[in-house]
Structure 1
Amino acid sequence: MTVTSFSPRPEPREIARVTSTAGELLEVLWGQAATAPASASQLRVLLVLEHNEGINLRTLADRLASTPPSTSRLCDRLQAAGFVERDISPTDRREVRLYLSSRGHAFLADLRARREKVLQAVLAQMPAVKRAALLEGLEAFCEVAATQMHDEAEQPDSRSA
């Protein structure tokens, strides 16, 4: 299956199309490394918490583009499963801070290991030069995407203005 047919200097639109296709293929491949006992929505919460230790519920809801009550219910289930811990903020007793528990960290590490095993089987079939090009491109993508996510997280919430 060929998903590319690029001009010599591919435009972001072309790359976005192929990246989207790659993302869909990854979802199918990663289905072999199921996220149980966490749902897809719960997995998103765990990933946000992993990168934002001590985040409060409202900010987490904003990052998930969800409502605080829905996010709270997700966190309730994750806390009951032992993946999330809640703590009262030392500066405001009304604010609850959310943390990934040691079980949550272990779950994500195991999930990543299983997903990487699936990916390694695919990557092993690619020519070395293509793997090197993919690595270089993905490193650049991750750097820019992480910077953009960080910058967006630093901006004041326009909805509260």
Structure 2
Amino acid sequence: MTVTSFRPRQEPQEVARVTSTAAELLEILWGCASTAPASVSQLRVLLVLEHHEGINLRTLADSLASTPPSTSRLCDRLQAAGFVERVVSPADRREVRLHLSRRGHAFLADLRARREASLSAVLDQMSAADRGALVRGLEAFCATAATRIYDEPQASGSRTA
């Protein structure tokens, strides 16, 4: 190994600190791309439904670490806004399945397009090599985070709305 190829090992705590800073900067950049008319909590519901079409209310509440009544109220507001549809399960009429409506899908697509547009000015100022490294790192992070969020059972803990 040559001295020029030596890179200090990035400890998880340092990577977490830098990632947290990046998330805060993203929030500022995305301030121009408002989530209105959905609140941040409602946006979380839409994102979970996008990955788990047909999820039931209890499973959704568990994935949000919330209570079924709080989650139901969030879904009531999203349904009233036309973003969510409730469908009675064909297997059990007492169970309701939640789906994103066309309007919900369109809202998420529009939000993503506006967020991506706000990032372009920053990314255009980065070198191609730095953008490539960022993409590789973010793809690995997204794959790991998605597995943890969407595929693993939720750890028990406090429930919040």
After TM superposition, is the score higher than 0.5? yes
**2:74 equivalent in structure 1:** 74
Work out the percentage of aligned pairs sharing the same amino acid: 77
Matches within 5 A, 1:22-33: 22-33=22-33
**1:54 equivalent in structure 2:** 54
**2:126 equivalent in structure 1:** 126
SS at match of 1:99: strand
Structure 2 gap ranges (5+): 1-6
Instruction: Give the drift of 1:158.
Output: 6.2
Q: CA offsets per residue over residues 25-58 of structure 1, 9 Å max, x none? A: 1111111100111111111110000000000001
Instruction: Give the drift of 1:93.
Output: 1.0
SS at match of 1:31: helix
- Residue identity opposite 2:64 in structure 1: L
**1:116 equivalent in structure 2:** 116
SS at match of 2:32: coil
**2:4 equivalent in structure 1:** none
TM-score with structure 1 length normalisation?
A: 0.88
Structure 1 residue ranges (4+ consecutive) displaced by more than 4 angstroms after TM superposition: none
- Structure possessing the higher relative contact order (Cα contacts under 8 Å, 6 or more residues apart): 2
Matches within 5 A, 1:28-39: 28-39=28-39
Q: How far apart, CA to CA, are the structure 1 residues paired with 2:17 and 2:156?
A: 30
Does residue 92 of structure 2 align to residue 92 of structure 1? Answer: yes
Q: CA offsets per residue over residues 78-102 of structure 1, 9 Å max, x none? A: 1011000000111111111000000
